[in-house]
Structure 1
C-alpha cells in the first residue's frame, strides 16, 4: 500500500472494505479472518503490504520478524515498518532469515517456530522471499501445528522444485523446454552403472527405501537412482562429489551443443528463484562460423563445472546431503518471459491473466506489464480499425497463446493440488510457448494482476450473496483460514492494463549499487501506486522524512512503482508521468529511475504493444552507452558560438546594427536552448527516451537536417519531458527560467495561431515554412501584417537549429536502427550483441573507479571472496601472472555472485585486501598491487578538447546548411526581421 494515501486507496473502484466480519450476510461473515494471528517472516515492500492488508482485514495480532541485517536505528532505517508497528512485543529478531549454511537454516526454521509458539501466532506469512518456496521450512511449520499462508509442503515439493515441476508438466501434457532434468541421477549412474552396484549402495548405507521399489526390476535405472538420491538427502549423505557432478554436466552440455548447433545452454539450480542459481554458457557458439566444430564445443562445455559450483553456491546447496540437481536446458534465444497468476484451494484452481516480464537483466525483472485476454482483444480491434494488419495478426497470436497458457496453468495447478497463490512461468517463442517453472509463492509483481482482476466469491446457495477480494495477500490469508470452504471464484475485470517498474539500487549500467543513503523522496502524485516498504512514512515524533540506507544485504529493490490505465498506452503514459515527477536524492545514491523513464518513453515513441525478448536490455544499454559516448564529444557552448558566427556571416557587409540585433536575439535564446540540451546530453537514459518520442520530428535530406515539426514545439515538450516546466516555487536551477518561459510561450501562441489560419497539423511545420517564404501576403493578411509575421517568424526561429545536434548524435550511432517493426518484433542490430562492445559501453555508462596504474580496485561494493567456493584455491596469489579475462575475485552484492575478471594482463605483486572471505569492500577500494604487461599512457586533455570541437563542427554542418537559404528567403528587409 502507498505510504501516503492516494487514488489507489481512496477510489472506491479500487479498494473495498476487507473486514468480512462486518458484513450483513451471515455467509460472508463466516469467512472473517479477524482471529488469524500471522507472523510475517519476509522483508521489503511485501512485508509492509502484508501489514496493511492484515490491518484492513481486522487482523490485529500479527508480528514481524527482523534480521540483524535490518537496521532498526532510525538514521539508518532498513525496517521503516517500525514507524507503523510501535508495539515492541510484536517485533522479533533473528541473526539472519535463512542462515548461511544448511545447519544454520535448520536452526533458523526451528527458531521461527519457537517465536511463533511463544508469542501466540498461529500462522506464518513468508511473502516472496527467503523461505517462501522452501519445502522443508513449510513442512516444519506444518509439523508444528501452524498454518502456512502459501502453498502447502506437498505442493511445494511437486511444483516448487524445478525438476519435479517439469516432470509434472510432462505428465499433464504441458509443453516444456528441451533439456535434462535428472543430471544428478545420471551422475550417480556414471559412478554405479548397474542395478547390482546401486543395490550395494543402498545396502552399504542402509537407506530407507520402499521394498516394492527395490524389488521392481522393470523400474528404469534412472528412476531407481532418483529414489536412492532422495534417501541420501533424507540421511544427509553425498553419493558423489561436486567435481563429479560438474564433469557429468560438462558431458551433457557438450551433447546439447552437438544436438542444437549455434545455441546456448542454461544451467538452473532446482532451488533457485529471483534470478539466483542460473548461468548461461556457449555464447561463442552463437557467432561461430562452424558452431558444430568439436574443438569449439569442447571449449564451450569446459565452462560448465565452474558454473555448476557457482549456481550451487548461490542457492546454498553445497552442503553434505543437499539436493544438488541442476536443470540443463536449451536457452531459447528469441524468447519472451510470460507468467500466469494462479490461485487454488487444493480442489479448484483459477488463472488470473498474465504478465509480460521480458524486460529483465541478470535474470532480474525490471518492467512488468499486464497481459489479459480483454486487453489483447481490445488492442486487436484498435489495430484492425487503424489498418495495421500485421500488428493485429501478431496480437491475435498472443491472444491464442495466452488462452492456452491460462488453461494449461490451471490444469497444472489442479494436478499439484495448489492451495494458495502461485505463478506459472513460461517462455514464449512467437506462436509457441514452453513451461519453465512454478513459483510457489506470491510474486513481486502480483499487484499488476490485482489491478486487472478482482475475485468474486459467491454463495453456492444464493447467487446474490457474495463478496469481492482485490488483494492476493488477502486471498492467501482467506485460503489459509478457510481453504476447503471457499467456493471457486469468478474473476472480474477491473482496469484495462497495469504496469510496474522496479526501482532498484543500481547504477546507470544496471549494476548493483549498495550503500547509498536516501535523504529525500518526493511525495506520490495523483494516480501513483508506490510500494516503498514504508520508506516515505515520516518520523512519528517529528513529522520529518527519515533517512534510509540501502545496505544491499538482500536485494537491490527499493520500491515498486505501479500505474493503471484504460489500455497499455494509457498505463505507460501514467508510468512515464510518475517516473518523470519522482525525485529521489541522497548521498552516494544510485537508482535505475532514469533508466526506467528512458525505457518507458522509448516504448511510447515506438509501440507499447511491442514484443521485446529477454535479450532486449543488454543491447539496449549498449546502444545507450554509444549515445553517451557520442554525447561526450559534443561541446554545446562551442556549438552555440559557432552557430552565432554562421548567422553573422549571413549579414556580413550590411548595416552593423543588423549584426548587433541578430547577436542580441541569439544571446537572448542561449539558455532557453542550451539548458535542456545539456541535461539530455548529461543523462543518456533521458536522451534515449527523448529521441524515441521525437523520432518523427525531422528527416535528413541531401545531408541537411529538415524539421517536420516546429523545433519550438519540440523544445516546449522537452521542458515538460525533463520536468523543467516553469514553477515560481521551484529552485531556478531545476526549471526553465522565467524570461525563457515567457519567450517560449509567446512563440508557441504565435505558431498556434498561424497553424489555425492555414489549417495545418503539428507535424506540418515544413509546409508553414514554405508559406512564410512568400513575400506576397497569404492567409488573408494585409501586406503590413504579413511583413511583421515573417519578421517575427525569422526571429522566433533564429538559433533553433542547435536542437538538431541531438538528432545528429542519434544518426551518428544509428540509434533508430534499434526499432519496433510493424509486426511488433523488436529489431536489434547484430553488432550490439558483441560482448566486447557491451563491456566497453558499460564502462562508458559508468566509468570504472579511478585507480593508479599499479592497482586493481573493487569494481563495486559488496562482500569480497578470493576463491570460487569454500575450500577452493584462490583465483590469484602474489607473484602470479594473470591474463585478460581471467577471474580475479568475486563480489556478492544483493544476493548475486559477481565474478570480476581482469581488464588486462599483468602480474600480482601484492594482495592489499587482507580480510577474509565475506569481508565487505567499497567501490574503488584497492585490492591488488600489480604490474601490467603494457604501460598505460594517459590521454592528453587538450587532445580530448580538440576532438570534441572537431566532432561538434561535423554535426553542425548538417544542421546549419539551411541558414543561407533561410536568410535569402527572408527578403531584403533584414533589419526589421532581426529587430522583431
Structure 2
C-alpha cells in the first residue's frame, strides 16, 4: 500500500516517492504508470510541476516542448527547467506554441503530434496553457493513436466551448447566467431567415450535415442554423462576416440593456480562457434605472469594437473559425467561486471550492480554499463569539457551496469528464450561476491539493488503498488506467490553503514585461513556490542564474502557496512569506508589495470577508489616494519641527522642576537627535510604498483614536514601532545589509526602551497590552509603593524620554484619516463596503497615474505607456487609428499595445495634432516603455510645476499634520 507523505517542492526536508510499483499491495501496483511516456507541451510552473511529479511516479521517458519565441524575441528567457532536464534528446523545439493564425495552429498541432511519434511518446500533457482546451488538438491526438492527459475530445466539445457548456448546463438543470449563447446562429438567420433558405444554403455550399437533421421538420430553426454553422467550420468557410456578427451582437446587447436596466453586459469569446477574450460594456448605464433609447444606443455602439478585440485575443478571426461570442448579463455584486472536479467518464467527484474573486483584467490574483469542513468550523467559531451576522453569512456560503458541488458533479457526468476540470460559478449572496467549465487543470489547483487528498480503495478490500495528493498525478493515473480507477474518497488534509500569484506588474497592476531577475531569496520552510524552476541554481556553480521575464505569454512569475489550520492561519503564513521574500533585478516590476499589503488588509479586517470581483480596482484607487496624500508629507521636516516643539515645551513646562529632573530632561534633546533615523526610516518606507502603508494601516486600525482633533494612542507607540520594523522586514539582523534593516544604534535605543517598559510591566504585574493602566500610573506625581520620590521622578522622566518623538508615527494614521481609508471595510455580515467615489472611472484613472506616473516625455511627443507589441489598427484590414497631419481629441484611441496576452487600447491623454509617426515596422513591432511613438503638437501648452512650490506645499501640509499629533 502506497504511503501518504506530505509533499512540497523547494523544501529539502520533505520528498515523496509516488511510485505505486513499489507498493506492497498487488492491487495498488496494478495502477503503476511507469510505462507512460508523456510529452509536456505547456510552459510555466505547470511544466516544472509535471516534470517533478512524473519523475516521482517513476516515469522516466518524458520530454518537453520549447518555443523558440522564448529565447529569440526575449533573450535570456530560456526555460530554466533545462538546468534540471539536461538530456537534449528530450527537449523539442517549435517556432511558437500555437501559431499566430488558424493555419499556423493546425500546422503546430501536426508538428507536435509528429514530434511525439518520432520520439516514442505515447501521450501528451498540455497543463493549463495554450491548447489544453483545444477540441481540435485533442481530437487530432486521439486520431493519431496517442493519449491526451486531460479531458477527451467529446468532453472538450460539450464543456470546453462556452456556448456548448451553457447548453449542456441547461439540459441537466444547472443554474446559468442570463444571456445569449447563439449569436452566430442568429446572425445567420438574419441573412437566411427561414428553414427553406437555410436548407438551400446548406445545399449550395455542399455542407456535410447529418441527413436526419435536415429532414427533421420539428427541429427548431436556430438549432438547424447551428448545425449548418458547425458544418461550415469543418469545411473551413465563412457563412457570415465579422461585421455582420458584430451588428447582431450590437442589437442583442441593446436588448439586454433594455431588459436589465442599470446593468452592464459581458462579451465572452467561446474559446477564451485565463482572462482572454472578455470585455464588459455599458459602464455609462450602470445604476441607470430607466435609460433612454439614445443612452442604450450609445452604450451598445461599443459592441462591434469589443467583438473584434475578443476575437483577436483568442485568434478566432480566420476564415472558417467559430466566432461565436456569449452575451451575458454582468452580475455586478459577484464573487468568483469554482469547484475542482475529477472524473473517469463514469464517476465524477467534487473536491471543494476556491474563491478567486480577487482579480483584475479578468486575471486572478489571490485564491483561497473554500470547503464544507472549513466553513462548518468557522460557523462554530462565530457562534461561540456571538457573531450572529457572520454566522448567517457563513451558513449561506455553506449552502451555496453544497449546491455548487452537487451541480458540478452532475455536469461532469453529463459531459463524460474523464480527467481534471474546473466548474466555475459566479456567486451573488445566496445565489449562484454556472459560468463555464475549464476542461483542464487550473493554475490554482494546488490550493485544492492542500485541503484534500484522494483515497482510492480496492472495492474488494477496504483496507487496501493508496493515497494521491497531486492532481497532476491523478490525471496521469486516469489517462493510463481510465475506468479501472474506482471513485475516490476525498480526505481532508489542512484546514485552508491560499495562493498569491506573483506577477510581472507595476504598482498599478499593469503588466511590466521584460525585467531581469538577478536575485531571489530562498523559500521559507513551509512555503510552496511554483516558479518554473527560476530558483534552480546553476548546476555547476550553485549560484542563482539571472532570468528574463518574457512578455510573450502571461505575467505570472510564480505561484506562492501556504497552508494552515484555518483561513487566518494560512493568511498569516502567507503574510510572513511575502514579508521575508526579496526579489531584485533590472527594470523589474512585480506585485509582491501589492500582495503583502492586501493580505494584511484582510488580516486587519476579517479573513472570512466576501470580496467581489469588483474589489481590486477601487482598492487600488484607495491605495492611490494614500500615495497622493503621502506625497504631500516630509517626515524629516516633521522631525525637525518636532524637535523645536520639544525644546520649547521643555523650556517652559519644566523650569521649576527639581534639579534631578532637569538634568534628565536636558538629555531629551540629545535623545531626540538619536531617534531621527529610528523614526523616519520606517516612516519613509511606508510613505514611499502605499501598498505597504495600506496593510500597516489595516492591522493597526484599532491602535489609535481621534479626540477633539488630536491623535490618542491606544497601545504603546514604542511597541508599535517595533512591530512596524518587523512588518517591513527591517528587524535587526547583523548579517543583513545595513540599508535593509534597523541600524545598530537605533536598535540599541529601541531595545533599551522596550526593556524599560517590560520591567515596569513586571513591576506592576501588567499585561503587554495594558498600556492605559501603565500610562495612567506613570502620570501620577506621587511615587507608588516600592519607589522613592527621586526614583519615581527618574522613572517618569525616562518614560517621557522614551516616548518623546514617537508621536511622529501618528502622522501615518492621519494619512488614513484624511483619505477616509477605513471607510473601505468589511461589515459584520462579511460583505465589503466600497465607498461609491472609488468607483469613479476618472478618479480610478488619475490614481493609476499617481501609483505609476507616466513615463517621462517631452511636450511635443507621445511615448509608449509600457513595453509590448505595438498595433496601429484595431484589426487587420481596418484603418489605422492615426495618420500624420490628423487632429485627435482627448480620449481618442491612438494605438493598441499587447502585453502578456492582453490587448490594451491606449487613448490620448489630451487633444492635439499628429505631426509625425515615429514607430517603424509593421504591426507586432516590439516597443519599450517610454519609447517615442508620435511627434505631436498639443492644443494647449504644458506648464511645468515649480519644484520649490511643491516643497513649500509639502511643508505646509506636514505642519498641518503636526498640529494633530503634538
Give 2:134's aligned residue: 134
Alpha-carbon offset, residue 658 of structure 1: 7.6
Secondary structure, aligned partner of 1:477:
helix
Superposition deviation, residue 767 in structure 1:
3.4
Question: Partners of 1:103 and 1:435 in 2: how far apart?
Answer: 33
- The Cα of 1:75 is off from its aligned counterpart by 8.2
| Alpha-carbon separation, structure 1, partners of 2:785 and 2:231 | 91
Q: How many Å apart are 1:777 and its aligned residue?
A: 2.0
| Contact in 2 for aligned 1:6/1:528 (Cα 8 Å) | no
Partner of 1:791: 797
* Partner of residue 916, structure 2: 910
Tell me how far apart the structure 2 counterparts of residues 474 and 763 of structure 1 sit (CA, whole Å): 49
> Cα distance 1:917–1:72, how it changes in 2: closer, same or farther (>3 A)?
closer
The DSSP-based 3-state class of the residue aligned with 1:724 is coil
Q: 1:820 touches 1:827 (CA, 8 Å); kept in 2?
A: yes
For 2:327, the equivalent position in structure 1 comes to: 328
Partner Cα distance (2:189, 2:747) in 1: 77
Q: Does the 8 A contact of 1:341 with 1:353 survive in 2?
A: yes
Are residues 1:494 and 2:500 paired?
Answer: no
Aligned counterparts of 1:520 and 1:648: Cα–Cα separation in 2: 46
Q: Does 1:539 align with 2:538?
A: yes
Change in 2 beyond 3 A, CA 1:640/1:13: closer
Structure 2 counterpart of 1:766 = 772
Equivalent of 1:898, from 904, 907, 931?
904
Counterpart Cα distance in 2 of 1:96 and 1:332? 37
Please tell me whether residue 884 in structure 1 is matched to residue 890 in structure 2.
Answer: yes
- Cα RMSD for the two superposed structures: 1.7
Could you tell me whether the CA contact under 8 Å between 1:7 and 1:527 is conserved in 2? no
Matched, 1:201 2:201: yes
Equivalent residue runs for 1:243-322 within 5 Å: 243-288=243-288, 291-322=290-321
Structure 1 residue 669 and structure 2 residue 675: aligned?
yes
Which secondary structure does the structure 1 equivalent of 2:424 belong to? strand
Q: Post-superposition shift, 1:386?
A: 1.1
Matching of residue 951 in structure 1 with residue 957 in structure 2: yes
Instruction: Identify if the C-alpha distance between structure 1 residues 756 and 433 changes in structure 2 by more than 3 Å, giving closer, same or farther.
Output: farther
Matches within 5 A, 1:18-29: 18-29=18-29
- Tell me the distance in 2 between the aligned counterparts of 1:453 and 1:323: 38
Query: What is the match of residue 817 of structure 2?
Result: 811
Q: What residue in structure 2 maps to residue 711 of structure 1?
A: 717
Change (3 A) 1:74 1:926: closer
The 5 Å alignment of 1:103-118 reads 103-118=103-118
Residues 371-429 of structure 1: per-residue CA shift (max 9 Å, x gap): 00111111111111111111111111111111110111011001100000000000000
* 1:975 corresponds to: none
Q: In the alignment, is the contact (CA less than 8 A) between 2:6 and 2:16 conserved in 1?
A: no
The unaligned stretches of length 5 or more in structure 1 are: 961-980
**Structure 2 matches for 1:104-253, cutoff 5 A?**
104-253=104-253
In structure 2, distance between residues paired with 1:360 and 1:756: 48
Give 1:464's aligned residue. Answer: 463
Contact 1:342 1:409 in 2 (8 A): yes
- Aligned position for 2:726: 720
- In 2 relative to 1, CA 512–371 (structure 1 residues): closer, same or farther, beyond 3 Å? same
Matches of 1:395 and 1:591, distance apart in 2: 34
Instruction: Tell me how far apart the structure 1 counterparts of residues 337 and 248 of structure 2 sit (CA, whole Å).
Output: 31
Give the corresponding residue for 2:52: 52
Cα distance between partner residues in 1 of 2:359 and 2:739 = 34
C-alpha contact 1:265 1:329 (8 A) present in aligned 2: yes
Map Cα deviations across residues 73-111 of structure 1 (whole Å, 9 max, x no partner).
998143000000000000000001000000000000000
User: For the residues of structure 2 that align with 1:842 and 1:74, how far apart are their CA atoms?
Assistant: 27
Cα distance in 1 for partners of 2:864, 2:374 equals 47
**TM superposition shift of 1:757:** 4.3
Distance 2:785 2:869 in 1: 72
Does the 8 Å contact 1:343/1:351 carry over to 2? Answer: yes
What is the CA distance between 1:651 and its match in structure 2? 2.5
The answer to whether the 8 Å contact 1:42/1:127 transfers is yes
Within-5 A mapping of 1:377-526: 377-526=376-525
Residue 694 of structure 2: aligned partner: 688
1:200 deviation in Å?
1.3
User: By how many angstroms is 1:758 displaced?
Assistant: 4.1
| SS across alignment from 2:71 | coil
Deviation for aligned residue 1:12: 12
CA–CA separation in structure 1 for the residues paired with 2:239 and 2:254: 24
**1:37–1:62 CA contact under 8 A, matched in 2:** yes
Q: Which residue of 2 aligns with 1:966?
A: none
SS at match of 2:286: helix
Contact 1:285 1:291 in 2 (8 A): no
Q: C-alpha separation between the residues in 2 aligned to 1:637 and 1:868? A: 50
- Are residue 527 (structure 1) and residue 533 (structure 2) matched? no
Contact 1:42 1:126 in 2 (8 A): yes
- For the pair 1:700 / 2:683, whether they are aligned, the reply is no
With over 3 angstroms needed to count, the CA separation of the structure-2 counterparts of 1:73 and 1:436, relative to structure 1, is closer
Aligned partner of 1:755 in structure 2 is 761
Match of 2:637 in 1: 638
Query: Counterparts of 2:6 and 2:526 in 1: how far apart (Å)?
Result: 7
Distance in 2 between the 1:580 and 1:338 partners? 27
| CA distance in 1: counterparts of 2:827 and 2:768, whole angstroms | 24
Report the TM-score when normalising by structure 2. 0.97
Change (3 A) 1:334 1:893: same
1:543-586 CA distance string (max 9 Å, x none): 21111001211110000000000000000000000000000000
Deviation (angstroms), 1:370: 0.4
Q: Can you give the 5+ residue segments of structure 2 that lack an aligned partner in the other structure?
A: 656-661
Cα distance in 1 for partners of 2:559, 2:183 equals 38
| Cα shift at 1:11 | 8.7
Alignment of 1:858-877 (within 5 A): 858-877=864-883
Q: Cα offset for 1:754?
A: 2.8
CA offsets per residue over residues 443-469 of structure 1, 9 Å max, x none? 000000001000010111111111000
Query: Quick one: distance in 2 between partners of 1:839 and 1:167?
Result: 38
Give the whole-Å Cα distance in 2 for the aligned partners of 1:631 and 1:657: 38
CA distance, structure 1, for counterparts of residue 14 and residue 383 of structure 2: 31
Question: Partner of 1:359: helix, strand, or coil?
Answer: strand
Q: Does the aligned pair in 2 maintain the 1:652–1:659 contact within 8 Å?
A: no
Structure 1 SS opposite 2:807: helix
Which residue in the other structure is 1:967 paired with? none
Question: Alpha-carbon deviation of 1:72?
Answer: 9.1
Distance in 2, matches of 1:79 and 1:307, equals: 34
Q: Distance in 1 between matches of 2:158 and 2:101?
A: 24
Matches within 5 A, 1:550-565: 550-565=549-564
- Deviation (angstroms), 1:755: 3.3
| CA deviations over 1:622-680 (Å, ceiling 9, x no partner) | 00011001001000111001111111111336779787533211101111111100111
Gap change, CA 1:261 and 1:606, over 3 Å in 2: same
Do the aligned residues in 1 keep the contact of 2:7 with 2:15 (CA within 8 Å)? no
2: CA distance, partners of 1:63 / 1:16: 21
Please say if residues 7 and 526 of structure 1, whose CA atoms lie closer than 8 Å, have aligned partners that are also in contact.
Answer: no
Q: How many residues align?
A: 955
3-state SS of the aligned residue for 2:271? Answer: strand
Is 1:345–1:483's contact at 8 Å kept on the other side of the alignment? Answer: yes
**Residues in 1 aligned to 2:7 and 2:72: alpha-carbon distance in whole angstroms:** 31
Structure 2 SS opposite 1:484: helix
SS at match of 1:483: helix
Alignment correspondent of 2:659: none
Q: Secondary structure at the match of 1:467?
A: strand
Cα distance in 2, alignment partners of residues 60 and 72 from structure 1:
30
